[in-house]
Structure formats: C-alpha cells, structure tokens
Amino acid sequence: MGYRRSDQPTWKSTNIPRHRHGGLFDHFSFAHAQFVWDCKSEPGVRDIFAKIWGTDKLTVSFDGGTLAFPTPEEANHGKAPWPHSDQSAYRPWPHCIQGLLNLLPNGPDDGGLAVLNGSAPLFEQYFKEHTQPDGGWIKRDLFDWTDEQLQWFKDRGCEWMKPNMEPGDFILWDSRAVHYGAAPLGTNKRMAIYTCYKPIEFLSEEQRERKVEAFKRGYMTSHDPTDFVLKEEQMAEWNILHPYGKPSINKETQQAIGMVPYE
C-alpha cells in the first residue's frame, strides 16, 4: 500500500490498511498473524496472567495491536485523546486485566498507553454518585469519558501518566481504568500487541464453540477472552481474512483457544 518502515516520507495514514485512532488495527485478521500469536504464546506472557488468576488453565483474547507513526502533515490523524474504560457501569467490580506487549522503544514523545492513574478504584463510586442518563448507562464494556466527567476523577487526585517502555516490556491495567493510546509526536514509531488471558472456567461451552470458529475464520474480538464479543465489521467484504496465511500454534495455545481440552 506504499508504507515502508525505513522510508519516513511513506508514513501516511493512506499507506497502511484501515485502522482507528491513528494506528489501532481491528481487521484483516491482525490478531491471527503468526508474529502476533508468537507474542501472545510466549510463556512469560502467560505466566503473568497465571499468577494474577491463580491458575494456568487460561483462555486468550483475539484483540488487536497498534502500529502508529508520526504524521506531522496530517493534523487530525489520531492526535485527539479518546479516554475510555473497557468496562460497563453495570459491572463495576474487578473483572478484567488487560495487557500490552511493547515491541519498539517507547519514550515520552513516542505515544503509547496513557492511563488516568487512580481511576480504576473510583470507577464504582463515580456511577453511584451520578444519575443515569435517559435509557440508562451503556451496557457494553466500553465507556467513553467526557472532559467534564474526567474532571471528577482529577478532583480526587487522579493524574495522567504514560509509562516509557523498552521492547519486550509488558504493561497491565485494570479494565476500569480510564486510558487511551496517545499518538506519537516525535520521530519514532510505536508498535504493541494487546493480549488478555482469563481462566477458561469462565468460558461457557457455547462461547468456546464460537471462539474456535472465530479462530478458524480469522475474526477478531474485544479485549475480554470470555465474553467473546466480535469486533465490528468482521464479516464485511473489504475485511480480507488471513491475508498472511493461517498461523501455526502450539498445544498450549490450542488449549487457550479452546480447541484442545486441558488435561
């Protein structure tokens, strides 16, 4: 499409496949590319979630990744913050821990995960203290925050932070935390893989069957590996599935998908 990673003049939004927020990929079976599965299948990544949940019998998400690069000539390309929480107001308890595997040096001006530190513990309190809009709060596990709503958190001591990362660093955050992916403003690219594991016992048999079928077809899903919500337009004609070929995965990953039962 025209993008070449070593040729900065080609770093244009029109030179990479369809994406959101300056470089977030939800389509074209990105989650099922071989290098993505290699990253998500790293024992060190799985071990992190095994320690969190107290079990190594886990199931994995099919969510996406980010390739973002500076676009100084495109003022509106992914520059605006998009603060959100990946959890519903009707589910205010700890429910999901999300993960990010960083692949490139990521300094102060290189964009990346920005988190409103301290917002997760205040998530439930916010919704208790505020009146529901007509029709109620949004039920899906996504809540977009306005500047006025964010001020409530800031008044209680929450501050924005963006961790600097080296290749191979792994970042975790509570899905209730207010966060977004900041655009790179310097000269470096940003690349990261999002992954999440939860105990497979939380996955119903119906969801397991749907999950295996989604893997075979190359569909992508939300961050939560047990709720199993397909990302939008997975069946669209323009969404070419498995453009890089189907991945080769080991037994442990087949178990995490639900293709092979745990022993």
Residue 44 is part of a domain; what is its CATH number? Answer: 2.60.120.330
Q: Is residue 263 part of a domain?
A: no
Nearest to 97 by CA among 234, 224, 250: 224
| Per-residue pLDDT at 253 | 98
Number of domains in the chain: 1
Handedness of CA 228, 209, 202, 60 (dihedral sign): negative
Q: Is residue 11 part of a domain?
A: no
Contacts 24+ apart (CB under 8 A), 142-146: 142/84, 142/85, 142/86, 142/87, 142/88, 143/84, 143/85, 143/87, 143/88, 143/89, 144/82, 144/83, 144/84, 145/83, 145/84, 145/85, 145/178
Gap between the Cα atoms of 213 and 209, Å rounded: 6
| Per-residue pLDDT at 234 | 84
Q: Is residue 3 part of a domain?
A: no
Structure pTM? Answer: 0.91
Q: Is residue 121 part of a domain?
A: yes
Those residues of the chain that have pLDDT short of 50 are none
| Per-residue pLDDT at 13 | 72
Q: Determine the structural domain holding residue 162 and report its residue range.
A: 31-70+80-245
Q: Is residue 92 part of a domain?
A: yes
| Per-residue pLDDT at 218 | 96
| Per-residue pLDDT at 69 | 78
Q: Is residue 168 part of a domain?
A: yes
Q: Is residue 90 part of a domain?
A: yes
Gap between the Cα atoms of 251 and 99, Å rounded: 22
Q: Is residue 21 part of a domain?
A: no
